[in-house]
Amino acid sequence: MSTQLKSDPRLTRPDDIYQVLIDAHRDLSPEQSQAFNSRLVLLLTNHIGDEGVIAEAVEAAGKGL
């Protein structure tokens, strides 16, 4: 397995994906939105399946907060 986070743009239509994410939160309460985000993160983490990449992503996401 690789352990290098791929952070270069890889989506052919990022605006469409952004809209899918926005639409998924429409009509959700703040609590439901937070639960949705948690579930989505866990599903994508499982899909990635590489603990090194996931650790790099967590570190990158936390920078600047």
For residue range 19-37, list pLDDT tens digits in order: 999 999 999 999 999 999 9
How far apart, in whole angstroms, are the C-alpha atoms of residue 24 and residue 20? 6
Residue 4: CB partners within 8 Å, gap ≥ 6? 52, 53, 56
Are the CB atoms for 57 and 3 separated by under 8 Å? no
Q: Where does the pLDDT of residue 64 fall: very low under 50, low under 70, confident under 90, or very high at 90 and above?
A: confident
Domain ranges of the chain: 29-65
Q: Where does the pLDDT of residue 9 fall: very low under 50, low under 70, confident under 90, or very high at 90 and above?
A: very high
Query: Mean per-residue pLDDT for 3-26?
Result: 95
Are the CB atoms for 55 and 6 separated by under 8 Å? no
